[in-house]
Amino acid sequence: MHIRSMVIDGFKSYCQRTEIPGFDVQFNAITGLNGSGKSNILDAICFLLGITNLSQVRATNLQELVYKSGQAGITKATVSIVFDNTDKSTSPYGYEQFDELTITRQIVVGGKNKYLINGTNATNTRVQDLFHSVQLNVNNPHFLIMQGRITKVLNMKPPEVVHFFQEEAASTKLYETKKEAALKTIEKKDSKLREIDRVLREDITPTIRKLREERSSYLEYQKVVREIEHLTKFTVAYDFTCLEEATQRTKNDLLKLESQVNEEKRRVEQLNEEKAKLEQNLRELAEEHTKLQGPALEEAEAIMSTCQKAEAVASGASSRAAENLKSTHRRLQALRTQFKDLNKQFTDKQLAAEVAAGVEFQELEKAAQQAMEDLTIAQANLEASKLELTQPPQACLVDGASASLAEQARLAEGHRLALETEVRQLEMRERHLGEEVRQAERELAKATGAMKQSESTHDAKRRQLTSRIDQLSKQLNKLKAEDEAAGGDENTMTERYNQVTRTVRDLQAKNDEFARQFNQLTVEYADPQPNFDRRRVLGVVAKLFDLMDLKYATAIEVAAGGKLYNLAVDTEKTGKLLLERGQLRRRITMLPLNQIRGPSIPPEVLDRAQRLVGAQNVASAISLIRFPPHLQPVMDYVFGGLLVCPTLDIARKVAFHPGIERRTVTFDGDVFDPQVTLTLPPDPTFQSHVCRGSFFQSSSTTTIFVRRNYLDSLRYDAFVTQDRRDNSIVHADDVHLVSQSVVGAGAMT
């Protein structure tokens, strides 16, 4: 390889482009007049070869190599040399296919330096390696011998001359330099590898192990939380059902009690009617009694007075009858007063009225019996009087000394007729009173039957009320126990309510913070036209599905890639409207539901993969998520044609199997693509948007939901507790009232 021609432009004294052609193969000297530029040609060759000691080209910096240091309007210096490369035995390594090599070096005022090999940009190292491969090292101490060093070279000792020629002949300096640089690089890399191993061993591996343990614990915690939530719902539903049943039973009991109260009211009304009838009968009896005490009795006594014996007997009988009737009248008055008192008590205690009515009936029955006895005695006395009256009245003979026998007979006949008339009247009154007594007996018998029936009803009612007292007492004790078990006093319930309210507020703040951190999951837009139906915008893909399990989150996000943040719309027209008039704040890709189509995994390919590694070790990505059926085209477009495996070995085996050859993702995010290479997973400390989004949606939303349900349950418990307290007070009042009624009824009985 030798110089064929060279071009100098703006280098030192060559202000214009100067081409020097026709270099001979044996070129080794430049001759010319002083100042003609001989040294500048040699300096240009050394400049191209990459000399670093600028003093050998009579300059202190590269800017001085430009014509007049760039002050004459020329700001760059260019040197280009064409080398003949037809001799392949001396050709540089890697350039044997070129018969000619054009190497150019250009500097610009300001420090910019550029190399070109055959018109292509190259680095300084590449150019130096090219020249070193053909034993051209301009930076070798003996490559360029200046005028002042000729004597020194001539005076070299033999070993120095041998070393000089060995270096120039073998050019081993290049390889030694590269060897030293390579050894230094290897040492640095080894140190870096040792540092990386130490970091992996001491920091990353324990952190990964800890994170995996925490992940397992967290997944277990999630499982327990879901189980608790599930069981809590069952418990609340069971408690609600039990309370509903208890409420229904209480309502039924209340209806029964109301019907019983109405029945008792009807019975009391019937008793009042019977009492009114009895009072009417008593008034009639009193009137008859008054009539008996009227003029007839006085006339009988006047007639009886004519005969002392008859008068004494009749007077005694009448006095006893009158006394008995007066006693009966007084008893009737007392009964009326007692009836009035009982009527007043009836408004407060209905059940006691029945007992009072029974007592009144008993006293009335006794009074009626006494009246019957008095009437019997009066009848007996009346019969005795009649017998006495039939005998001759001895008292009439007081004045017999002055009266004749005829007059006595006439007087006696007149008295006899008068007495017979009076007797007939008394007999008529006797029959009338007998009829009234029989009527009174019938009414008394009816009242006695009603009283017995009332007593039996009262006994049954008393037993029923006693049973009701026991039942209400049990319910009261149960309500008190439930009140104590439900959370204690109102202050404790209020404190629990406030605590849960604060928790819900904190979770809502976390939810807002999550929305600010992951703004890619939300798309804000203005209505592109009036009355725009926002249901036409389905939402970001990441929010349109749920994970079957959080362990698939990294794999699903890596599988979806950037498509995870695309916006799904119903038609391409909706997407066009949003892009043109929706005032979107960031660039976003639209997925029209009626246009997109995605690949799918044939069933035979999936079956082949499952037979290869087991059904539990491989699944299609789309089978690991849940989504509405109408979003099938979107999910096919994002996840179709992807397989998910748990480990690297299984994923590699599935991805590169000749009968499968599908893109495969591991749980940790490693991707195997038969068309490309292995893609490393994200940083171990990285948590995917899907994982965090699913966690937050599952944790914050579900936790908020759980907390709000718990808050509602506390509100419900507080309401139920208050209702129970009110019911317990009502039940206590009912128990007390019924107890007083039963005790009062028992006392009156």
Report pLDDT for 226: 92
Instruction: Please indicate, yes or no, whether residues 709 and 616 belong to a single structural domain of this protein.
Output: no
The answer to whether position 158 is within a domain reads no
Report pLDDT for 695: 38
The tokens for 411 are: 């007087």
**Number of independent structural domains in the chain:** 4
Give the Cα separation of 281 and 287 in Å (integer): 10
Instruction: Please indicate, yes or no, whether residues 503 and 635 belong to a single structural domain of this protein.
Output: no
611 vs 335, higher pLDDT: 611
Query: Which of 208, 186, 187, 210 lies closest to 199, judged by CA?
Result: 208
Gyration radius of the chain over CA positions: 66
284 vs 379, higher pLDDT: 284
What is the arithmetic mean of pLDDT over 191-195? Answer: 93
Q: Which of 231-240, 495-504, 630-639 has the lowest mean pLDDT?
A: 495-504
105 vs 351, higher pLDDT: 105
pLDDT digits (tens, 9 = 90+) for 116-161: 999 999 998 899 888 888 878 787 766 777 777 778 878 888 887 7
Instruction: Please indicate, yes or no, whether residues 242 and 370 belong to a single structural domain of this protein.
Output: yes
The answer to whether position 694 is within a domain reads no
- H-type alpha helices, 523-662: 553-560, 572-581, 603-613, 632-639, 648-655
Q: Distance of CA 136 to CAs 24, 43, 180, 353, 576, Å? A: 18, 15, 20, 139, 65
Report pLDDT for 559: 87
Model confidence at 97: pLDDT above 80: yes
The tokens for 434 are: 């007998």
Band the pLDDT of 353: cuts 50, 70, 90. Answer: very low
The answer to whether position 183 is within a domain reads yes
Average pLDDT of every residue of the chain:
75
Model confidence at 218: pLDDT above 50: yes
Band the pLDDT of 80: cuts 50, 70, 90. Answer: very high
User: Residue 662 phi/psi, 5° resolution?
Assistant: -125, 150
Q: In this prediction, what percent of the chain has a pLDDT beyond 90?
A: 16
Band the pLDDT of 543: cuts 50, 70, 90. Answer: confident
pLDDT digits (tens, 9 = 90+) for 463-511: 766 676 666 666 656 655 655 555 555 566 566 667 766 776 777 676 6
Instruction: Please indicate, yes or no, whether residues 244 and 342 belong to a single structural domain of this protein.
Output: yes
Model confidence at 624: pLDDT above 70: yes
The tokens for 140 are: 């070798």
Instruction: Please indicate, yes or no, whether residues 499 and 444 belong to a single structural domain of this protein.
Output: no
The answer to whether position 185 is within a domain reads yes
The answer to whether position 697 is within a domain reads no
Give the Cα separation of 656 and 663 in Å (integer): 9
Q: Which residue has the tokens 């026709």?
A: 22
Which amino acid would we find at residue 704? Answer: I
Maximum average pLDDT range among 293-307, 335-349, 424-438, 711-725: 424-438
Query: Which of 378, 366, 383 lies closest to 328, judged by CA?
Result: 366
Judge contact between 578 and 528, C-beta under 8 A. yes
Count Cβ neighbours within 10 Å for each residue of 139-149 and write b for 16 or more, e otherwise.
bbeebbeeeee
Count Cβ neighbours within 10 Å for each residue of 437-451 and write b for 16 or more, e otherwise.
beebeebbeebeebb
Model confidence at 749: pLDDT above 50: no
Band the pLDDT of 747: cuts 50, 70, 90. Answer: very low
Report pLDDT for 237: 92
The answer to whether position 303 is within a domain reads yes
Instruction: Please indicate, yes or no, whether residues 228 and 298 belong to a single structural domain of this protein.
Output: yes
Say how many C-beta atoms besides its own lie within 10 A of residue 11's C-beta: 27
User: What is the side-by-side strand order in the sheet with 663-666?
Assistant: 619-620, 642-645, 663-666, 671-672, 678-679
Name 547's bridge partners: 625
Instruction: Please indicate, yes or no, whether residues 317 and 427 belong to a single structural domain of this protein.
Output: yes
Report pLDDT for 207: 92
Model confidence at 704: pLDDT above 50: no
Report pLDDT for 722: 53
Q: Which of 72-76, 137-141, 685-689 has the lowest mean pLDDT?
A: 685-689
Give the Cα separation of 524 and 583 in Å (integer): 8
Band the pLDDT of 364: cuts 50, 70, 90. Answer: low
In what helix (H) or strand (E) does residue 174 lie, and over which residues does it extend? helix 173-199
Which amino acid would we find at residue 221? Answer: Y
739 vs 231, higher pLDDT: 231
Instruction: Please indicate, yes or no, whether residues 459 and 495 belong to a single structural domain of this protein.
Output: no
The tokens for 13 are: 């004294």
Indicate the pTM of the whole model: 0.31
In what helix (H) or strand (E) does residue 502 lie, and over which residues does it extend? helix 490-517
The answer to whether position 536 is within a domain reads yes
CATH number at residue 104: 3.40.50.300
Burial status of residue 401 (CB atoms within 10 A of its CB: 0-12, 13-18, 19 or more): exposed
Maximum average pLDDT range among 185-199, 279-293, 354-368, 573-587: 185-199
The tokens for 624 are: 């690991």
Angle at 103 between CA 97 and CA 108, to 5 degrees: 150
Band the pLDDT of 705: cuts 50, 70, 90. Answer: very low
Model confidence at 244: pLDDT above 80: yes
Count Cβ neighbours within 10 Å for each residue of 485-504 and write b for 16 or more, e otherwise.
eebeeeeebeebbeebeebb
Q: Which of 410-414, 445-449, 726-730 has the lowest mean pLDDT?
A: 726-730
Name 104's bridge partners: 80, 116
Q: In this prediction, what percent of the chain has a pLDDT beyond 70?
A: 60
Query: Which of 124, 85, 86 lies closest to 102, judged by CA?
Result: 85
CATH number at residue 639: 3.30.70.1620
Model confidence at 208: pLDDT above 90: yes
What is the arithmetic mean of pLDDT over 12-29? Answer: 88
User: Residue 77 phi/psi, 5° resolution?
Assistant: -125, 130
Instruction: Please indicate, yes or no, whether residues 79 and 191 belong to a single structural domain of this protein.
Output: no
Model confidence at 225: pLDDT above 90: yes
What is the arithmetic mean of pLDDT over 323-330? Answer: 60
Count Cβ neighbours within 10 Å for each residue of 696-722 and write b for 16 or more, e otherwise.
bbbbbebbbebbbebbebbeebbebbe
Band the pLDDT of 518: cuts 50, 70, 90. Answer: low
What is the arithmetic mean of pLDDT over 32-55? Answer: 87
What is the arithmetic mean of pLDDT over 31-40? Answer: 86
Query: Long-range contacts made by residues 197-204, C-beta under 8 angstroms, separation at least 24?
Result: 204/684
Please, what is the end-to-end C-alpha distance for the chain in angstroms? Answer: 145
Those residues with Cβ within 8 angstroms of residue 57's Cβ, 6 or more apart along the chain or in another chain = 43, 46, 47, 51, 65
Band the pLDDT of 81: cuts 50, 70, 90. Answer: very high
Q: Which of 203-207, 355-359, 517-521 has the lowest mean pLDDT?
A: 355-359
The answer to whether position 475 is within a domain reads yes
Report pLDDT for 106: 93
Report pLDDT for 371: 55
Model confidence at 260: pLDDT above 90: no
Instruction: Please indicate, yes or no, whether residues 677 and 728 belong to a single structural domain of this protein.
Output: no
- Full residue range of the structural domain in which residue 84 is found: 2-139
Count Cβ neighbours within 10 Å for each residue of 248-278 and write b for 16 or more, e otherwise.
eeeeeeeeeeeeeeeebeebbeebeebbeeb
What is the arithmetic mean of pLDDT over 329-335? Answer: 59
Judge contact between 547 and 622, C-beta under 8 A. no
Give the Cα separation of 509 and 641 in Å (integer): 39
Which amino acid would we find at residue 608? Answer: R
Per-residue 3-state assignment (H helix, E strand, C coil) for 133-159: CCCCCCCCCCCCCCHHHHHHHHCCCHH
Instruction: Please indicate, yes or no, whether residues 663 and 631 belong to a single structural domain of this protein.
Output: yes
Say how many C-beta atoms besides its own lie within 10 A of residue 341's C-beta: 11
Instruction: Please indicate, yes or no, whether residues 270 and 395 belong to a single structural domain of this protein.
Output: yes
Helices 205-292 and 405-485: crossing angle in degrees, nearest 10, is 180
